[in-house]
Amino acid sequence: MLIWAGLWRKKTRTILTMLSIVVAFLLFGLLQGINQSIKAGLGDSSNNRLWTTSRMSAINSMPISLMDRMRGVKGVLSVAHLSFFGGYFQDAKNAIPAFATDVETLAKVYPELNFTQAQIAAMQSTRPGALIGRPLAKEYGWKVGDKIPLGTSIWTTKDGSNNWAFDIVGVFDPSPQFENSPLGRAFWINYDYWDETRQFDNHRIHQFIVQIDNPSQATVISSAIDKLFENSPDETRSQPENVALQAQLKQFADIDFIANSIVGAVMFTLLFLTANTMMQSVRERIPELAVLKTLGFSGPMVSVLVLTESVMLCLFAAIAGLLLSSIAIKAVGSVIGAGTVPRIVIAYGLLIAVGLAIISGLPPALRAQRLNIVDALADR
């Protein structure tokens, strides 16, 4: 009763402070949620896959013929390949994650994509066919039987056009951990058709995906593959899939650092804001706290009242902020690459909220505890 009353003594101030905390924890939930989802996604990456790209750079192409030699390396179970089509739909801003591949071998190394035998057969019987992920189909409202024109600024057809058209022959449902990944949302096209139709760089691909028998041997097998092409015009760089993904991500941005820096700065500012609010609130209530002490409330009891008030203020607002971030992430999950705010982020968020409340509530709580009744009542 007393805590609730103290909290709502100045409604406007409490609401404004709560709003600040809500926004801070919304930001915390969003940033850490995305960060943790990405980390979790990388953690999920099966270590029994290696990615092999050109040693020069990931966008340099390599001859597809290297695949046969890679298959001979001890520990290699299967090898698939993919190439970046880099297409767009209608407008360049509608980028489509289109890749050229052989869907049958891809299905072996990526069982998580859940290609059905019928879909593989449909691709094999339809040269300009395309197999698309359910998330992408939902986004554009595409369905089997649609002919989709894709533009590209890189690949020209043999007749000199940059306009390509593909027939959707299947919509696949990737496993949940792949729903938000580029591969799970991809627009897969037949490599053979693409390679025969394009004007240049023929018989070359951008990346091999190597399935190995023992994840603990990933480094050894990577070295063995790279050694095969050492000192050749097509030197390779092989690494476990999750290591490659992390490296790719860091090239784009160090999400971990950015997320932690922003959240750190926001929380630091919030600490001062909350501490100021609590100090002001206690300052205004000194006569009231003195009355409570007069009535028999001990110093520690009054300080616990103030501290609990601070915890409630921060905790309620933090819960609201984290709840909003969960809703926001769910709403835009497919765009930002995260589905939910992980439980660990929520747990950390609540811990931070309690820590924030205790740090900001402690000075006014101690002041309230030490309050001299006679001086406070005499307004000294």
Partner 1 sequence: MSTLVSLTNVVKRYKRGKQSVEVLHGVNLAIEQGEFLALMGPSGSGKTTLLNLIAGLDQPTEGEVTVAGERIDQLSGGKLAKWRARHIGFVFQFYNLLPVLTAARNVEVPLLLTNLSSSQRKQNVRAVLELVGLADRATHKPSELSGGQQQRVSIARALVADPTLLVCDEPTGDLDRENAEEILKLLQMLNRDQGKTIIMVTHDPLAADHASRTLHVDKGRLVDSVRSAA
Of 159 and 379, the one with the shorter C-beta distance to partner 1 is 379
Q: Which of 141, 296, 335, 343 binds partner 1 (CB under 8 A)?
A: 296
Find the binder of partner 1 among 1, 57, 117, 233 (CB under 8 A): 1
Determine if residue 83 is left, alpha or beta; phi over 0 gives left, psi from -120 to 50 gives alpha, anything else beta.
Answer: beta
3-state DSSP of the chain: CHHHHHHCCCHHHHHHHHHHHHHHHHHHHHHHHHHHHHHHHHHHCCCCEEEEEECCCCCCCEECCHHHHHHCCCCEEEEEEEEECCEECCCCCCEECEEEECHHHHHHHCHHHCCCHHHHHHHHHCCCEEEEEHHHHHHHCCCCCCEEEEECCCCCECCCCCEEEEEEEEEECCCHHHCCCCCCCCEEEEHHHHHHHECCCCCEECEEEEEECCHHHHHHHHHHHHHHCCCCCCCEEEEEHHHHHHHHHHHHCCHHHHHHHHHHHHHHHHHHHHHHHHHHHHHHCHHHHHHHHHCCCCHHHHHHHHHHHHHHHHHHHHHHHHHHHHHHHHHHHHHHCCCCCCHHHHHHHHHHHHHHHHHHHHHHHHHHHHCCHHHHHCCC
Of 14 and 236, nearer to partner 1 (C-beta) is 14
Residue (295 or 335) nearer to partner 1, CB? 295
Q: Tell the burial category of 272 from Cβ atoms under 10 Å away from its Cβ (0-12, 13-18, 19+).
A: exposed
**Measured from the CB atom, is 176 or 300 closer to partner 1?**
300
Taking contact as CB under 8 A, which single stretch among the options 110-118, 125-133, 339-347, 369-377 is the one that binds partner 1?
A: 369-377
Q: How far is the CB of 5 from partner 1 (least distance, A)?
A: 4
Q: How far is the CB of 89 from partner 1 (least distance, A)?
A: 59
Q: Is 373 in the site for partner 1 (CB under 8 A)?
A: yes
**Cα–Cα distance for residue pair 239/133, rounded to 1 Å:** 26
Report if residue 291 touches partner 1, rule: CB under 8 A.
yes
Instruction: Between 5 and 95, name the residue whose CB sits nearer to partner 1.
Output: 5
Is residue 124 within 8 Å of residue 164, measured between CB atoms? Answer: no
2 contacts partner 1 (rule: CB under 8 A)? yes
Does position 283 interact with partner 1 (CB under 8 A)? The reply is no
User: How many residues interact with partner 1 (rule CB under 8 A)?
Assistant: 22
- What Rg, from alpha-carbon coordinates, does the chain have? 29
> Using the rule CB under 8 A, which residue among 149, 215, 300, 355 binds partner 1?
300
Distance CA 111, CA 8 (A): 56
Cα separation, 289 vs 377, in Å, equals 9
Q: Which amino acid is at 230?
A: E
Q: Can you tell me which of 140, 297, 316, 348 binds partner 1, judged by CB under 8 A?
A: 297
CB of 366 to partner 1, least distance (A): 14
Minimum distance from CB of 8 to partner 1 (Å)? Answer: 6
Question: Which residue in 49, 81, 204, 293 binds partner 1 (CB under 8 A)?
Answer: 293
Question: Does residue number 294 form part of the binding site for partner 1 (CB under 8 A)?
Answer: yes
Under the criterion CB under 8 A, does residue 5 sit at the interface with partner 1? Answer: yes
Binding of partner 1 by 8 (CB under 8 A): yes
Residue choice 287, 327, 344, 347 for contact with partner 1 (CB under 8 A): 287
Q: Which is nearer to partner 1, 307 or 322 (CB)?
A: 307
Among 292, 314, 329, 356, interactor with partner 1 by CB under 8 A: 292
Query: Of 1-9, 32-40, 52-60, 161-169, which part binds partner 1 (CB under 8 A)?
Result: 1-9
Our CB check for partner 1 shows the closer of 335 and 374 to be 374
Give the binding range for partner 1 (CB under 8 A) out of 76-84, 288-296, 344-352, 360-368. 288-296
Q: Which is nearer to partner 1, 203 or 380 (CB)?
A: 380
Kindly indicate which of the ranges 34-42, 198-206, 289-297, 327-335 contains the residues binding partner 1, using the contact rule CB under 8 A: 289-297
Q: Which residues bind partner 1 (CB under 8 A)?
A: 1-2, 5-6, 8-9, 287-288, 291-301, 373-374, 377
